[in-house]
Amino acid sequence: GLVVMCGASKEQEAAEEDGHGFFTQSLVEGLGGKADYNKDGVVELYELQLYVHGRVRELSAQEQEPTVSIPSVVKSFALSKP
Protein backbone atom coordinates (compact mmCIF):
# COMPACT_ATOMS: atom_id res chain seq x y z
CA GLY A 1 0.00 0.00 0.00
CA LEU A 2 0.91 3.62 -0.43
CA VAL A 3 1.57 5.77 2.64
CA VAL A 4 1.08 9.54 2.24
CA MET A 5 2.04 12.14 4.82
CA CYS A 6 1.28 15.83 4.22
CA GLY A 7 2.31 18.90 6.18
CA ALA A 8 -1.18 20.39 6.37
CA SER A 9 -4.78 19.66 5.50
CA LYS A 10 -6.12 20.82 2.14
CA GLU A 11 -7.77 23.84 3.78
CA GLN A 12 -4.50 25.03 5.35
CA GLU A 13 -1.27 26.59 4.21
CA ALA A 14 1.89 24.87 5.44
CA ALA A 15 3.93 27.32 7.52
CA GLU A 16 7.66 27.97 7.21
CA GLU A 17 10.29 29.37 9.52
CA ASP A 18 14.04 29.77 8.99
CA GLY A 19 13.81 28.63 5.36
CA HIS A 20 12.05 25.30 5.83
CA GLY A 21 8.59 24.08 6.75
CA PHE A 22 7.47 22.79 10.11
CA PHE A 23 6.64 19.46 8.47
CA THR A 24 10.15 19.08 7.03
CA GLN A 25 11.74 20.06 10.33
CA SER A 26 9.59 17.50 12.14
CA LEU A 27 10.45 14.73 9.66
CA VAL A 28 14.18 15.39 9.96
CA GLU A 29 14.02 15.47 13.77
CA GLY A 30 11.89 12.34 13.90
CA LEU A 31 14.03 10.33 11.51
CA GLY A 32 17.08 11.53 13.44
CA GLY A 33 15.86 9.69 16.52
CA LYS A 34 13.40 11.92 18.36
CA ALA A 35 10.52 9.71 17.17
CA ASP A 36 12.06 6.55 18.64
CA TYR A 37 9.55 6.42 21.48
CA ASN A 38 10.29 2.84 22.52
CA LYS A 39 14.07 3.48 22.47
CA ASP A 40 14.89 0.39 20.42
CA GLY A 41 17.24 2.27 18.07
CA VAL A 42 14.78 2.17 15.15
CA VAL A 43 12.26 4.79 14.03
CA GLU A 44 9.20 3.04 12.65
CA LEU A 45 6.36 4.42 10.55
CA TYR A 46 3.83 4.76 13.37
CA GLU A 47 6.38 6.37 15.68
CA LEU A 48 7.26 8.91 13.00
CA GLN A 49 3.59 9.61 12.30
CA LEU A 50 2.93 10.28 15.99
CA TYR A 51 6.02 12.47 16.40
CA VAL A 52 5.44 14.54 13.26
CA HIS A 53 1.81 15.19 14.12
CA GLY A 54 2.61 16.43 17.61
CA ARG A 55 5.70 18.40 16.61
CA VAL A 56 4.03 20.23 13.70
CA ARG A 57 1.14 21.15 15.99
CA GLU A 58 3.63 22.42 18.58
CA LEU A 59 5.71 24.44 16.09
CA SER A 60 2.63 25.99 14.50
CA ALA A 61 0.95 26.90 17.80
CA GLN A 62 -1.82 24.38 16.97
CA GLU A 63 -2.57 26.17 13.66
CA GLN A 64 -1.34 23.46 11.29
CA GLU A 65 -2.77 19.93 11.15
CA PRO A 66 -0.58 17.40 9.32
CA THR A 67 -2.46 14.60 7.62
CA VAL A 68 -1.59 10.99 6.90
CA SER A 69 -3.08 8.18 4.87
CA ILE A 70 -1.99 4.67 5.81
CA PRO A 71 -3.98 1.77 4.36
CA SER A 72 -5.06 -0.78 6.97
CA VAL A 73 -3.00 -3.48 5.23
CA VAL A 74 0.23 -1.54 5.91
CA LYS A 75 1.97 -2.60 9.09
CA SER A 76 4.54 -0.41 10.81
CA PHE A 77 8.03 -0.78 9.36
CA ALA A 78 11.50 0.63 10.03
CA LEU A 79 12.34 3.97 8.41
CA SER A 80 15.66 4.83 10.02
CA LYS A 81 18.30 3.62 12.47
CA PRO A 82 19.67 6.88 13.86
DSSP single-letter state for residue 3: -
The CB-side HSE value for 80 (13 A sphere, CA atoms) comes to: 14
Q: What is the pLDDT of residues 20-33, one digit of tens each?
A: 899 999 999 999 99
pLDDT for 16 beyond 80:
no
Domain count, the chain: 1
**Residue 77 confidence class, pLDDT cut points 50, 70, 90:** very high
Find all residues with CB under 8 Å of 50, minimum gap 6, and list them: 35, 37
Which structural domain range is residue 68 located in? Answer: 4-80
Q: What is the pLDDT of residues 36-72, one digit of tens each?
A: 999 999 999 999 999 999 999 999 999 999 999 999 9
Q: What is the CATH number of the domain that holds 17?
A: 3.30.70
